[in-house]
Amino acid sequence: MVERCLGCAACAAVCPKDALTISGGKPEFGPECDDCGICAKVCPTGAIEDEGE
Amino acid sequence: MEFDVVVVGAGPAGSVAAWAAAEAGCDVLVLERKAEVGVPKQCAEGISAHGLEHAGIEPQDEWIATEISRALIYAPNGKEFEVPGDGYVLERRVFDKWLVVRAVEAGAEVKLLARARRALVDDGRVVGVEYEGVDGVHEVRARVTIAADGIESRIGRTAGLVPPLKPTEICTCAQYEMIGVDVEEDATHFFVDAEFFPGGYFWIFPKGEGRANVGVGIRGSESEPGDALKVLNRALEDHELISEAVAEAVPVEVNVGGVPVCGPVGRTYGDGILVVGDAARQVNPVTGGGLHTSLVCGRIAGEVAAEAIEEDDTSATFLKQYQDQWKEEFGRMFKYTLKASKILSEMSNEELNALAEALDREDILRLVKGEGVVKVAKKVIARKPSLLKYAKHLMK
Ligand SMILES: Cc1cc2nc3c(=O)[nH]c(=O)nc-3n(C[C@H](O)[C@H](O)[C@H](O)COP(=O)(O)OP(=O)(O)OC[C@H]3O[C@@H](n4cnc5c(N)ncnc54)[C@H](O)[C@@H]3O)c2cc1C
Ligand code: SF4
Ligand code: SF4
């Protein structure tokens, strides 16, 4: 699978739980994440869809 | 470590703020998490000539890719509008670096690969930030913290000033920089289509000699994972006008990003802190343009921070001047463009076509700038009574 996260932080900007941070150009999920899926929805490349699989 | 001002983020907003504060004699530190300022670019790179001038920045050959004299807007039915206006398509990787160099020359210090993790809050006042650098986690104390940390705004958030964006409040964007694009190069091109590009639009911004930024933004609420890139690819294949323009074109870069389209946050200042640029959602919600506003608001933030330090009063009461000043410049624009953006994002293609019939190019210019909007709304009602419900929103 190609690396699809380009570090744009759109995902982190919408996370209602503040559970996502961009570190090393990639999203890092914290323990507060409740799997609501909002971050994946706005990801331009579908990178978060991959993470969940 | 202790500074007068710590700026988080070396985008346009942060660099200009650091430049202004350092020029006024402050000890300034800029923290930037990336390895290279301006890279990767997350921008279509368009700015009006007025925007640059308003920010007091003299155009430089090294970061201007092309000069633009008009915008062409295409309605879903292909009807084309020409909106005159001088502008530029920039080379942001050069522009952003040029700006940070201005800050450094004025005396600011810059740390790369330095990611701010949270605002340090002491008894309700922001006293600096905690950041992670290549050599571990550090605290840096500052009398004023400027959160210029882009759409994510970890610092604005941990200071309690910036709420998360709702999916309706963000446009998710994907773009190729392409070579071999066949469009008129003295114009920026905007394609509107509620079915193809829900809650957003498609753009082609020429950079000269067939090079162009070719991209799309759609509303987060209308998007499923990866849609921005999928819609971009689909439009290149299937959209009548776009597919023609890129028939021979080849991508040399993929760019992605989010654009806040909710209008500025309610409070862009607090005790010891200012929030500026995308972090403060200071973006024109109709065009998604944030360069003009970031540059002007960044300068104001840097100047007010310096005055606060000079006066030895970095309380919210003093720093509120920043908000008063940027509202003076952009308050009206945000008020009307926010309404216009909401309306446009709700319209069907039929309604957009009807609107295109009712408007002339002067009207469009007014809507984009948020000037004389009520006049435009009245005209729309007179010509297309079916659009009454939308026009009414504009006049409120
Ligand atoms: C696809 C796309 C196309 C666009 N096209 C245009 C256009 O044509 N014209 C226009 O005017 N605007 C456009 N915009 C908007 C424009 O790019 C932004 O409004 C502008 O870059 C905002 O500047 P800024 O300095 O506020 O934020 P940014 O440019 O995002 O800079 C923020 C900086 O902060 C850094 N940062 C973030 N968090 C941290 C942290 N915790 N610690 C340290 N550093 C941090 C980031 O790495 C970044 O360098 C576009 C946006 C997108 C996504
Ligand atoms: S996961 Fe998607 S939205 Fe998040 S930073 Fe990566 S590309 Fe951007
Ligand atoms: S799934 Fe929801 S809570 Fe978890 S990181 Fe994404 S947006 Fe945040």
What DSSP state is assigned to residue B63? G
**Mutate: best of A17, A36, A43, A48, partner B, most B CBs <10 A:** A43
Residue B140 CA, chain-centre distance (Å), reads 28
Both tokens of residue B147?
């959160």
Strands (E), A1-53: 20-23, 26-29
Q: Which residues touch B216 (CB under 8 Å, ≥6 apart)? A: B173, B174, B175, B197, B200, B201, B202, B203, B228, B231, B232, B235
Instruction: Check if A33 contacts B (Cβ < 8 Å).
Output: no
**Matching residue, tokens 């773009």:** B175
CA B334 to chain centre: 12
Q: Which of A3-7, B34-38, B88-92 has the lowest mean pLDDT?
A: A3-7
Query: Which range, of B155-159, B221-225, B388-392, averages the lowest pLDDT?
Result: B388-392
Give the model's pLDDT for residue A14.
Answer: 97
Percent of chain B with pLDDT over 70: 100
Q: ∠B339-B282-B86 over CA atoms, to 5°? A: 85
B126/B272 Cα distance (integer angstroms): 5
- Interface residues of chain B, partner chain A, Cβ below 8 Å: 33, 40, 42, 115, 117, 150-154, 157, 164-167, 170, 172-174, 220, 223-230, 254-258, 260
Mean pLDDT computed over B78-107: 96
Is the pLDDT at B279 greater than 80, yes or no?
yes
Which residue, chain included where needed, has tokens 């640059």?
A: B52
- Cβ-based contacts of A8 with chain B (< 8 Å): 42, 151, 256-258
State the average pLDDT over residues B101-120: 98
How many other CB atoms are there within 10 angstroms of residue B40's CB atom? 18
Virtual torsion, Cα B390, B394, B395, B396, nearest 10 deg: 100
Whole-number Å distance, alpha carbon A40 to ligand 3 midpoint, is 8
Task: Give chain A's end-to-end CA distance (angstroms, integer).
Answer: 12
- pLDDT score at A50: 55
| Mean pLDDT of the B357-363 span | 84
Pseudo-torsion of CA B192, B193, B199, B200, nearest 10°? -40
Ligand lying closest to the C-alpha of residue A39: 3
- The burial of B244, by beta-carbon neighbours within 10 Å (0-12 exposed, 13-18 middle, 19 or more buried), is given as exposed
Name the band, by pLDDT with cuts 50, 70 and 90, for residue B367: confident
In this prediction, residue A1 has a pLDDT band, given cuts at 50, 70 and 90, of low
- CB contact under 8 Å between A6 and B254, yes or no, is yes
Q: Identify the pLDDT of residue B369.
A: 76
| Alpha carbon separation from B351 to B113, B190, B287, B297 (Å, rounded) | 48, 17, 19, 35
Q: What pLDDT, on a 0 to 100 scale, did the predictor assign at position B329?
A: 97
Q: Which residues of A touch B257 (CB under 8 A)?
A: 8, 10, 44
pLDDT at B355: 87
Q: Whose CA is nearest to atom 3 of ligand 3?
A: A33
Mean of the pLDDT values across residues B259-271?
98
Chain A interface, best mutation among B43, B151, B175, B176, by max A CB count within 10 A: B151
Check whether B183 has a pLDDT greater than 70: yes
Per-residue model confidence (pLDDT) at position A2: 66
Specify the pLDDT at position B108: 98
Q: For residue B223, which residues of chain A lie inside 8 Å, CB to CB?
A: 41-42
Distance B94 CA to ligand 1 centre (A): 14
- Distance CA(B114)–CA(B130), nearest Å, equals 10
| CA of A10, closest atom in ligand 2 | 3
DSSP, res B259: E
User: What CA–CA distance (Å, rounded) separates B23 from B27?
Assistant: 10
Name which residue leads in pLDDT, B356 or B279.
Answer: B279
Checking if the pLDDT of A53 tops 50, the result is: no
Q: Looking at per-residue confidence, does A14 or B358 come out higher?
A: A14
Q: Which tokens go with B287?
A: 């065009």
pLDDT at B138: 97
- pLDDT, position B155: 98
CA-closest candidate to residue B223, choices B192, B198, B195, B206: B198
Q: Measured in Å, how far apart are chain B's first and last C-alpha atoms? A: 50
Give this complex's ipTM.
0.93
CA of B50 to the centre of ligand 1 (A): 20
Mean pLDDT of all residues in B127-143: 97
Which pLDDT does position B182 carry in this prediction?
Answer: 98
Q: How many A from CA of B316 to the centre of ligand 1?
A: 26
List the one residue out of B263, B26, B274 whose CA is nearest residue B147. Answer: B274
pLDDT bin (cut points 50, 70, 90) of residue B376 is: confident
pLDDT given for residue A52 in this prediction? 46
